Amino acid sequence: MTRPGDFRVQATDGLARAATLETAHGAVQTPIFMPVGTLGTVKGVDPLELREIGTQILLGNTYHLHLRPGEDLVAEMGGLHRFMAWDGPILTDSGGFQVFSLADTRTVDDDGVTFRSVYDGDLVRLRPEDAMRIQAALGSDIAMCLDEVPKPDAPAGVLAAAVERTTRWAERCKATTPAPRQLRFGIVQGGIDPTLRERSALELQNIGFDGYAIGGLAVGEERSAMFRITESTAALLPHDRPRYFMGIGDPEGILRVIAAGVDMFDCVLPTRLGRTGAAITSSGRLNMRNAGFARDPRPLDESCLCSTCQRFSRAYIRHLVAQKEMLGMRLLSIHNMAFLLALCAAAREAIIDQRFDAFLVDALERLHTGAN
């Protein structure tokens, strides 16, 4: 009999892994891309549509849901799952990324973070205990610890201080009471310094969590350094716990973090690209504003089985984008997420079949060729 937190690695091929994580709202098969629903919605896409394209788990954001509509209201409505009509697993970020992204409007001290609300400018105080209390009220399946995300070019002393604070905050997060059957993940920090990453990973493991995230990357550092640190950090994390890279959503990036031994990843990129008229395909990114697509009868990607590609031509989608029709943004968002989810499913199959290296080489070659 399975229970939330059970994690079984079914196959490995090199460092890449195919596994299953059990949660209170069902099993998640990895490697898996997690669409982002910051405010309790994946922008422009119905939960039924998310199911249809193979979504297994979604993200919500503690900071934003705390401010609008508030965790008390969400709890009154039956929790985040019922509130947004999504019956699958949900992971909630702690608000730690806002420590980085809202650097101009916040102050950090040992006890927590003080923000200026992005909605009305009011002061908002978020301590580790607050982040976990909010996530417990939301009722997510996986709650992330509050961490400090330093800038990628921060001095060594600042990086070391962020690691120390992240560890102390993780201890305080672990000491709180979670929602029933809620899992908790610690977040490894340390920039691109391998020594600090090792220190952070070991300190978090000494506290003990249901899973471990690799945070503080994909925030402006050199991409080759990001992949190198991802691989070395993943190798420090327990084999019997899920590994989560926070914030990557391009096909090459996803493939390379899978190859480094990462199981889970998320990003707003596929829906953001959809809203700006771009499509993710197996041979690169398409700008659907391009007049060259005006009479193109082909689907966005001829190998894609999503409803967008099965029903609509590039010409039609280009027309929608040019006319700023909402349907164009929706169709592109659905396709972009479906493409990444199918990429993860194909990677999982390749790992199980012991042919991941060939799969990776072929996929990267097609992405870099760019023939559309």
Query: Are 263 and 294 within one domain?
Result: no
What is the residue range of 207's domain?
8-267
Phi, psi of 202 (to 5 degrees): -70, -40
| Structural domain ending residue among the three candidates 209, 233, 267 | 267
Of 224, 244, 267, the residue at which a domain comes to its end is 267
pLDDT score, position 97: 86
Residue 66 has a pLDDT of 96
Active site residues: 93, 266
Residue 2 lies in a domain: no
pLDDT tens-place string over residues 336-362? 999 999 999 999 999 999 999 999 999
Backbone angles phi, psi at 103, to 5 degrees: -55, -30
Structural domain contains residue 1:
no
Closest CA to 265 of 285, 282, 248, 287: 248
* DSSP codes of every residue in 184-206: EEEEE--TT-HHHHHHHHHHHHH
- 172, part of any domain: yes
Both 283 and 345 in a single domain?
A: yes
Q: Please indicate, yes or no, whether residues 263 and 283 belong to a single structural domain of this protein.
A: no
* Residue ranges for the chain with pLDDT beneath 50: none
Does residue 272 sit within a domain? no
303 and 159 inside one domain = no
Within-domain flag for 3: no
**Claim to verify: residue 105 and residue 241 sit in the same structural domain:** yes
Instruction: Give the Å distances, CA to CA, from 340 to 55, 258, 265, 266.
Output: 10, 13, 11, 10
Most distant CA pair in the chain, distance:
60
Residue 210 lies in a domain: yes
Q: How many other C-beta atoms lie within 10 A of the C-beta of residue 24?
A: 19
Is 261 found in the same domain as 131?
A: yes
- Tokens for 305, please give them: 């089985």
Instruction: Tell whether 228 and 346 lie within a shared domain.
Output: no
Dist CA 91 CA 65 (whole Å): 13
Whole-number pLDDT of residue 99:
72
pLDDT at 371: 62
Same domain, 257 and 328: no
- Quick one: 252 and 362 in the same domain? no
**Is residue 248 assigned to a domain?**
yes
pTM above 0.85, yes or no: yes
Question: For residue 302, how many other CB atoms are within 10 A of its CB?
Answer: 10
Residue 227 counted as domain residue: yes
Distance CA 73, CA 334 (A): 29
Q: Which string of b and e fits 225-237 if b means at least 16 CB within 10 Å?
A: ebbebbbebbebb
Gap between the Cα atoms of 364 and 184, Å rounded: 34
What's the structural domain count of the chain? Answer: 2
Beta bridge partners of 267: 35
The last residue of a domain, from among 249, 267, 285: 267
Specify whether 56 is located in the same domain as 180.
Answer: yes
pLDDT digits (tens, 9 = 90+) for 45-83: 999 999 999 999 999 999 999 999 999 999 999 999 999
